[in-house]
């Protein structure tokens, strides 16, 4: 009996519980009832496809472009964690960040 030749193959994406991205794209927050500043950090990324289907060529290789993609079209904001600090620490951290961004600007101008 002849084996039926596959015409397509589908890859299903499952996200590991250990999956994490720690690049920070933004923050939001405010003051809590104790007068501390709460800052919640997040990362943004395009949604990972749930499923992609590809054609299989006559030689058995897979086409480079999928013929079908199932995915959420939203931008994902992965809220990673929040931090709490008093205003003095917030000013210190803010100044430190500005100094590092300024140092980067000086470096970039020199390259």
Q: What is the pLDDT of residues 60-92, one digit of tens each?
A: 899 999 999 888 889 999 898 899 999 999 999
- What number is the average pLDDT over the span 7-36? 89
- Measured CA to CA, the distance from residue 102 to residue 94 in angstroms comes to 12
Token readout for 38 is 């709460």
With bands split at pLDDT 50, 70 and 90, how would you rate the model's confidence at 107? Answer: very high
* 11 HSE (CA, 13 A, CB side): 14
pLDDT reported for residue 48: 87
Structure tokens at 42: 């997040």
Per-residue confidence (pLDDT) for residue 1, from 0 to 100: 60
Q: Domain limits of the chain?
A: 8-110
Is the CB of residue 66 less than 8 Å from the CB of residue 51? Answer: no
Compute the distance between CA of residue 53 and CA of residue 10 in angstroms, rounded to an integer. Answer: 4
């Amino acid at each position: 009996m002849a084996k039926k030749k596959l015409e397509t193959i589908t890859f299903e994406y499952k996200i590991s519980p250990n999956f994490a991205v720690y690049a920070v794209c933004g923050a939001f927050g405010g003051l809590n009832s104790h007068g501390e500043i709460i800052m919640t950090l997040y990362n943004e990324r395009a949604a990972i496809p749930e499923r992609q289907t590809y054609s299989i060529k006559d030689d058995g290789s897979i086409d480079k472009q999928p013929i079908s993609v199932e995915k959420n079209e939203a931008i994902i904001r992965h809220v990673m964690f929040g931090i709490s600090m008093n205003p003095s620490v917030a000013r210190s951290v803010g100044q430190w960040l500005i100094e590092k961004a300024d140092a980067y600007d000086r470096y970039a101008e020199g390259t």
